[in-house]
Structure 1
């Protein structure tokens, strides 16, 4: 057997010192790199009895906090045989990192009682908790303590104090502290710039950045992130200059910087540049993906936003609530219920279904995308504490689906639970009143608005004007306008639009004078209303004057104005002017084409109208229900029965446009004019709508022209059952009898 050779004490001590040195280096290295493997030396330290080595323990404490969380760090801290200021600062930092700020302040109090006096790092850490908890007095005591112990020149503590005072909007105090600092460091300059940005003092932020550069203090990535996040008067050129400075200074393109740059370029609709930025490095995280999805959605690139979401999922990065919010906005914008349901299922899987903003977005999505209100209502009832946005989305959803009474009931229920409506809620419920022309409920809401002083809000005032005007209460609408403290173009546009709908086009044109007297500028929408009134009245000269105004004011490029011009000249029979106005539209939409086709058709240019319809389809613009009304009218008045029938049956089959009652009126007119009265009657009887008086009058007129007394009497009887007081039926029936040589029957009707 081998005998164990005893190691001399001196040599054993030397080996222990060496091992302790190795452990210190390993612990320090692992701590700096946040490597979990570093804790493996802990058991060896205990075995060798060197667990009272303070430097080793402080490194292990920091390592436990970084890699294993607060609970393990606190357990290690409590077991430490000796602690110094570094130990206390380490455990404080762990609490602050986990946002346990109240416990952090308790630890600080315990530290003071235990003896070690805090250093500048300790005090700067405590200041973060003071800021988070709103403990201004506590923070001021920390400031006083730092002065008392000579830390006022410490750059790290100075930056923390500046940040603390900026958080509480004590900008003068922050500036004074900053001026005491010798030149300042990157952190202090960045803190000052950040506070200026948050306070909306853009010019001050730019001046600070300029001074920072002139002081030879290099900005870092956080400086630029703060500057890029500034909105308001900071121009795109300034932001591009920041980007250029980053390149010149060699600032690392990390994820934070990349996200800020992407967000900046997407905000200015420069999506190609934004996408290029995102691909400069291969690193992506959930914040960058969310910025990409949100930026694409906000720039109406919804398909690309969905593709980006799918790419993010494939890459293995989990979405957060902001990602889902952006995706739900995209689903709502493209009215994709299927996609919305898929996002909803992912929300449930990630346990976010009880999050209020997510719930609000889901209610909005279902109410706008679904044909029913059940899904939206189900999500709403699942929100534990619905806020004003939740209620407003529900009320708006009911109103948009035609359930105005449910809107009112939800409004009353919202008030009963103590949630006060905001201006948007009131404007939506007033819109519901306008939709059903409920003067009684409008008046009740008006009283509530006056009682709660909500009438000072221009959004509410405008909605009230629209509700009264929409109910035909012209005097009440003007009364609200007169008592509004502030009026804008929307106020008067609502009036003009409603007057046009009532057929009171003269009143609509009079609105212009009130706008001029009120120094409210005419915008594209109000101008379109005035064009419409001029067209309906046949006021060519007024229309031309408005045309001149649109050119002088720079509004002629507005699509709504251009479309109204086409409509005006078409209705006034000035087809050359209508065509010229149409050709000046850079990218005609369906309304532009409808105006041109209608103008040509109503003036008897049948071939030109149908040719324009073909040109419209060739240009890639999809016809809508209004387009087909004009086309069927053209075929009817041009005697093109078979072609008209082809267009009618192609609506659903080729163009995905569901025929409405107005289209069946045109169909009956088309067949009736051609003498195909039995076919017209069959179309009337088999259509999926309940007939109205107009469709019976249309067929009765055709019976009169073609002297079909038997069918005419049947149609007249059916029409009079719907509206016995309509004199048109009696007049047309009397004329039918005259045409058929039965003046005796005509005289009986007294016509």
Structure 2
């Protein structure tokens, strides 16, 4: 009976025998014929084996022992060098070849493209004595690979003969670069289509936001009698997921079961993603459970699906189970898990995943790094986000946008501008999100003139299109700086139709500057566009309250009641040891309420000792002054801070999240509370992050 050790000895012995055979075939006595001829298959087997295992030098040793290698052996060795990015060695051997056929020329062209040398590939293509359809198709694909669509297109139409692979390659290239109409025209002109043609079109439609058309095309394909492959099914399921086409997706699932595609990991993961997108997590989990051999792709699909459905704890549980089962996470699974940490605002869990990424050597990976930047930014630690950003080796536009937007959210406007300068120096082209981040940074830091410059830059140089979000940011910049009439003029001169969000930015600025006249004008526009927008009623009511116009406040509240509009209650929360502790204003239902209110009363005494006087403009009810003071003291953010103080170690930072904008009185009070307790207090409201420390806030009282 053969053991694993004896099998290994047999393999090792056979390789030694082959090497001896090659040496014998190289001896002068043997010559070209006889034994040398019988050993041809032996050395070819050994050469292929070494190349397959990337043992290039040993493969070259075998190749060099053959006195007269044939074209096949040369081509095999050249391809091996090129596939392992040893282009110089491949070219040297190619030019040594005594005889070259079209296959060897094509292999060398393909190798140059694989190694990123488009110029050398074109040179070889031009020198090829007898080009066939593969030569032309390889070069067309090469130009598409480098984004040279026009050159690829020109070359495609110059081809003397085009087979179906050539047509498919050009169609695929068009779709990759968003040229859908060109792809459709070519697809319709094709003399002969195969399943690859149909699959490329279906997948391309879906990738270019035409998922409905992709599904119609799939039905046409079935009507022509073309049988789908596993790749086709994956594309169709992705399309079903994009448009939540539950009925068709279920039919595809039935087809998968009927024809035995259940073992395909990509079809299985696509089914999980499809059900997750259709909010059918029970069915998604059923597909996962029925797959006995689960790869990282399957695990990641389920974890991502739970995250997509806001079941973040379940998503992280799946991730933990995956590791426990011995499956190593990849970039996608780590990124998905980090996104769930963002959803939970759980920085401790995020730090744990950061440690995992370091152990796996993925911290500097672009996708993992980008997810870490967003996680730290959203959870209140911009310094760790910057540290991660610096370690990312290949920074793409998402990396730069994430750190610029992050700095803007945390009020570090100049940092955002510095990163933008570095982005331009690095040769990365900014997009719409970049400029939204820059305008937001200017807004949160009071940089009016810089904001105007960026806005004009987008308008004049058309580096990207001005969109509604850019206008919202610019109105916000002008509004915060008190330029309310200029903001109104900008809105009225917009080349796009202003929506309620643009006018709300102006109304919010009116609240800040107590400008009732402009506020009423802005509110009128919003009521016309969106009559049931609760934020409009609340903001206008607050402006009336600040001005002491209590009859108008009552009128607003009556209107809201008549129209069935409810105000979103202000809430604040602290996530401690993975558990979210939430508070409403004046809330006494928490188990630690007694300690929390004792801490607030203690803080109230200390605040008065420092000269704090409550700003009663932010008490939005018509009650006695003493009651107003008490109401301000028990705002939700102060309860959350008090909970943090009684529940965490002295000196440790406290991070509070809030669903609405922090009020001016609380902002002043928290600055002093941070000084009293000697801690950093981070508050994220609906607008930005505030870092309170030593009696000051990172926003510089400008938010």
TM-score, with normalisation over the residues of structure 2? 0.69
Partner of 2:437: 630
Q: Distance in 2 between matches of 1:485 and 1:542?
A: 29
The question of 1:381 aligning with 2:184 is answered no
CA deviation vs aligned residue, 1:582-615 (integer Å, no higher than 9, x gap) = 3333444433333333333322222223222222
Q: Offset at 1:393?
A: 0.8
CA deviation vs aligned residue, 1:414-462 (integer Å, no higher than 9, x gap) = 1122222122111111111222233333333333333333333221111
Partner of 1:244: 61
Partner of 1:529: 336
Which structure has the highest helix share of the two? 1
The question of 1:367 aligning with 2:367 is answered no
Q: Distance in 2 between matches of 1:473 and 1:393?
A: 28
Match of 1:476 among 283, 286, 292: 283
Q: Offset at 1:704?
A: 2.9
Match of 1:334 among 134, 140, 146: 146
Residues 328, 365 of structure 1: 8 Å contact kept: no
Secondary structure (helix, strand or coil) at the match of 2:158 reads: helix
CA distance 1:458–1:313, shift in 2 (3 Å): closer
Q: Offset at 1:380?
A: 2.0
CA deviation vs aligned residue, 1:674-719 (integer Å, no higher than 9, x gap) = 2333443454455555544433332332233334445444443443
Secondary structure (helix, strand or coil) at the match of 2:294 reads: coil
CA distance 1:433–1:210, shift in 2 (3 Å): same
Q: Distance in 2 between matches of 1:391 and 1:583?
A: 43
Larger RCO (CA within 8 A; separation ≥ 6): 2
Instruction: Show structure 2 runs of 5+ residues with no match.
Output: 1-9, 28-35, 561-703
Residues 427, 463 of structure 1: 8 Å contact kept: yes
The question of 1:428 aligning with 2:235 is answered yes
Partner of 1:322: 134
CA distance 1:400–1:550, shift in 2 (3 Å): closer
Partner of 1:153: none
CA distance 1:397–1:619, shift in 2 (3 Å): closer
Match of 1:210 among 5, 11, 19: 19
Match of 1:274 among 66, 86, 90: 90
- After superposition, residues 24-63 of structure 1 pair within 5 angstroms as none
Q: Distance in 2 between matches of 1:232 and 1:472?
A: 49
- After superposition, residues 334-353 of structure 1 pair within 5 angstroms as 334-347=146-159, 350-352=160-162
Q: Offset at 1:504?
A: 4.3
CA distance 1:233–1:293, shift in 2 (3 Å): closer
Secondary structure (helix, strand or coil) at the match of 1:291 reads: helix
Q: Distance in 1 between matches of 2:101 and 2:436?
A: 52
Residues 51, 59 of structure 2: 8 Å contact kept: no
- After superposition, residues 657-668 of structure 1 pair within 5 angstroms as 657-668=464-475
CA distance 1:639–1:333, shift in 2 (3 Å): same
Q: Distance in 2 between matches of 1:423 and 1:671?
A: 55
Residues 109, 124 of structure 2: 8 Å contact kept: no
Residues 593, 616 of structure 1: 8 Å contact kept: yes
Secondary structure (helix, strand or coil) at the match of 1:497 reads: helix
Residues 434, 468 of structure 1: 8 Å contact kept: yes
Partner of 1:398: 205
Q: Distance in 2 between matches of 1:248 and 1:278?
A: 18
Q: Distance in 1 between matches of 2:67 and 2:50?
A: 27
Partner of 1:259: 75
Partner of 2:220: 413
CA distance 1:377–1:574, shift in 2 (3 Å): closer
Residues 271, 287 of structure 2: 8 Å contact kept: yes
Q: Offset at 1:342?
A: 0.5
CA deviation vs aligned residue, 1:381-427 (integer Å, no higher than 9, x gap) = 33344221111011112222322222112111211222221221111
CA distance 1:579–1:484, shift in 2 (3 Å): same
Instruction: Show structure 1 runs of 5+ residues with no match.
Output: 1-200
Q: Offset at 1:634?
A: 1.0
Q: Offset at 1:640?
A: 0.6
CA distance 1:740–1:690, shift in 2 (3 Å): same
Partner of 1:511: 318
Residues 337, 370 of structure 1: 8 Å contact kept: no
Residues 202, 232 of structure 1: 8 Å contact kept: no
Q: Offset at 1:739?
A: 4.4
Larger displacement relative to structure 2 (539-548 or 479-488):
479-488
Q: Distance in 1 between matches of 2:465 and 2:40?
A: 56
Residues 292, 308 of structure 1: 8 Å contact kept: no
Secondary structure (helix, strand or coil) at the match of 1:236 reads: coil
Residues 623, 655 of structure 1: 8 Å contact kept: no
Residues 286, 318 of structure 1: 8 Å contact kept: yes
Q: Distance in 1 between matches of 2:534 and 2:44?
A: 73
RMSD, aligned α-carbons? 3.4
CA distance 1:214–1:339, shift in 2 (3 Å): closer
Larger-Rg structure: 1
